């Protein structure tokens, strides 16, 4: 992790570095009246682990499909290793690995058969296939389930198989659409360990996730909202720019507290975290907020800011 190349700091449009692995240049794509991508721009350097974070419907899947050359764009340009994935032909596609969000394997084929099919699509020599699949089966611990049909795998095992299929040809660039969605915590940790290993070996990885806490594990994160990038940069650097103060609200009646906070302009974000309520308030306005909460028998306890606070505050700021 510490050897990771420094990410381009902040800003929605970052400078195009020479030899960037992935570039989204002002991507626009509309589905009917919805602008799924609305001028999305970002760059992922070679060997980076880039996390595209955003809520459901923010445009993550469309962005990944645009980078894989799977959709037509209304405007803008997507580049994979400097080439247009839609026109680049076989060369681009051989350097690309994709793990789609929804089921994309053949349910009636077994684990081994799915692997073999994708290996043949990439024209992998038999010996190389045996070697790589053995290693991938070992890492994903799918070895004992070789003969199990894909539709009989659990959610986590299915995702791991999909990842293994996308990794067989050793792509230079790996695109993962919500790889951890619907995966149990243990498998999730394994998946992340595997991703770090791949990046360590020089692979460029772009993944999308709705989970804010996963953002901290990336070299670089981008916050996508309504098809645009609101924030991008190295996680720690981004957090350092966060000017709000974060608190946990203790005590009080939840509904009354919510109402009381909604009327305050100083409160930039509020999110329930378990039984407590987390809020981000403008720097120096804690006193005002505490004063407003006092009659409701609630008080503030300072906590360290995290990504969720930053992102929620930024999204709310955007909406205002």
Partner 1 sequence: MTRPMRFLVRVGAMASKEVMHIRRDPRTLYMALAMPVVMLLIFGFGVSFDMDRIPLVVLDGDRSVASRALVRAVSAGHEFVIAADSDEATALRMIRRGQALAALAIPADYQRDLAAGRDGEVQLIVDGADGVVANQILAKIDGLVRAESLRRIDLAAEPPLQVKVFTLFNPEARSALFMVPGLAVYLLAIAAVLLTALTVSGEWERGSMEQLFASPVGRLEIVLGKLLPYLGLGMLQLLLVVAVGAVIFDVPIRGSVALLFFVGFLFLAGMLGQGLFISVVARSQLVATQAGALSSLLPSLLLSGMLVPIENMPRILQALSSVIPARYFVHAMRGIMLKGSGLSILWTDLVALTIFALAILALATTRFRRKLA
Decide whether 11 or 117 has the Cβ nearer to partner 1.
117
Q: Which conformational region is residue 223 in: left (phi greater than 0), alpha (psi within -120 to 50 degrees), or beta?
A: beta
Task: Please pick, from the candidates 12, 13, 25, 104, the single residue that binds partner 1 as defined by CB under 8 A.
Answer: 104
Task: Please pick, from the candidates 122, 190, 248, 258, the single residue that binds partner 1 as defined by CB under 8 A.
Answer: 122
Residue 113 near partner 1 by CB under 8 A: yes
Residue 105 near partner 1 by CB under 8 A: yes
Decide whether 87 or 236 has the Cβ nearer to partner 1.
87
- Least Å distance, CB 145 to partner 1, is 18
Task: Please pick, from the candidates 1, 5, 11, 31, the single residue that binds partner 1 as defined by CB under 8 A.
Answer: 31
Alpha helices in the chain (DSSP H): 60-67, 89-94, 111-121, 126-140, 155-167, 185-200, 235-240, 254-262, 286-293, 307-319
- Least Å distance, CB 98 to partner 1, is 4
Q: How far apart are CA 44 and CA 263, in angstroms?
A: 40
Q: DSSP 3-state assignment of 213?
A: helix
Contact 112, 149 (CB under 8 A): no
Decide whether 108 or 213 has the Cβ nearer to partner 1.
108
- Which range binds partner 1 by CB under 8 A, 92-100, 181-189, 199-207, 238-246? 92-100
- Least Å distance, CB 222 to partner 1, is 21
Task: Please pick, from the candidates 74, 84, 108, 131, the single residue that binds partner 1 as defined by CB under 8 A.
Answer: 108
Q: Report in angstroms the alpha-carbon separations of 278 from 209, 238, 246.
A: 21, 19, 7
Q: What is the DSSP letter of 8?
A: P
Say which residue the tokens 């209304």 belong to. Answer: 74
- Least Å distance, CB 147 to partner 1, is 13
Q: What x/- string results for residues 49 through 78 when contact with partner 1 is judged by CB under 8 A? A: ----------------x--xxxxx------
Contact 263, 256 (CB under 8 A): no
Residue 164 near partner 1 by CB under 8 A: no
Q: How far apart are CA 139 and CA 190, in angstroms?
A: 9
* Size, binding site for partner 1 by CB under 8 A: 33
Task: Please pick, from the candidates 98, 153, 229, 300, the single residue that binds partner 1 as defined by CB under 8 A.
Answer: 98
Q: Report in angstroms the alpha-carbon separations of 136 from 130, 141, 278.
A: 10, 8, 41
- List strands edge to edge, sheet with 49-53: 96-99, 173-177, 204-209, 49-53, 220-225, 228-233
Task: Please pick, from the candidates 5, 6, 117, 200, the single residue that binds partner 1 as defined by CB under 8 A.
Answer: 117
Task: Please pick, from the candidates 103, 265, 294, 297, the single residue that binds partner 1 as defined by CB under 8 A.
Answer: 103
Residue 193 near partner 1 by CB under 8 A: no
Decide whether 29 or 268 has the Cβ nearer to partner 1.
29
Classify residue 181 as exposed, middle or buried by CB count within 10 Å of its CB (0-12, 13-18, 19+).
middle
Q: How far apart are CA 63 and CA 36, in angstroms?
A: 9
Residue 158 near partner 1 by CB under 8 A: no
Contact 69, 78 (CB under 8 A): yes
Residues that bind partner 1 (CB under 8 A): 31, 65, 68-72, 86, 90, 93-94, 96-98, 100, 102-109, 113, 117-118, 120-123, 125, 165-166
């Amino acid at each position: 992790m510490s050897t990771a190349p420094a990410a381009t700091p902040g800003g929605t449009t970052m400078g195009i570095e020479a030899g960037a692995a992935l570039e989204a240049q002002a991507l626009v794509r509309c589905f009917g009246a919805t602008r799924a991508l609305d001028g999305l721009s970002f760059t992922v350097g070679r060997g980076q682990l880039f996390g595209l974070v955003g809520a459901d419907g923010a445009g993550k899947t469309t962005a990944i499909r645009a980078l894989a050359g799977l959709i037509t764009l209304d405007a803008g340009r997507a580049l994979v290793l400097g080439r247009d994935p839609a026109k680049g032909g076989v060369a681009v596609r051989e350097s690309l690995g994709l793990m789609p969000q929804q089921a994309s394997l053949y349910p009636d084929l077994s684990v081994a058969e799915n692997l073999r099919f994708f290996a043949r699509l990439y024209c992998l020599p038999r010996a190389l296939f045996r070697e790589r699949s053995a290693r991938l089966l070992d890492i994903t611990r799918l070895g004992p389930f070789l003969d199990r049909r894909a539709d009989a795998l659990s959610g986590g095992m299915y995702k791991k198989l999909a990842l293994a299929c996308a990794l067989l040809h050793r792509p230079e660039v790996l695109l993962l659409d919500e790889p951890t969605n619907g995966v149990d915590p243990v498998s999730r940790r394994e998946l992340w360990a595997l991703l770090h290993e791949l990046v360590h070996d020089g692979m460029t990885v772009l993944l999308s996730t709705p989970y804010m806490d996963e953002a901290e594990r990336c070299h670089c994160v981008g916050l996508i909202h309504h098809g645009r990038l609101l924030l991008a940069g190295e996680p720690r650097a981004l957090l350092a720019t966060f000017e709000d103060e974060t608190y946990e609200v203790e005590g009080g009646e939840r509904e009354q507290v919510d109402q009381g906070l909604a009327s305050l302009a100083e409160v930039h974000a509020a999110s329930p975290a378990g039984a407590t309520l987390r809020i981000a308030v403008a720097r120096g306005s804690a006193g005002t907020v505490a004063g407003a909460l006092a009659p409701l028998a609630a008080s503030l306890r300072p906590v360290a800011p995290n990504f969720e606070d930053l992102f929620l505050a930024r999204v709310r700021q955007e909406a205002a």
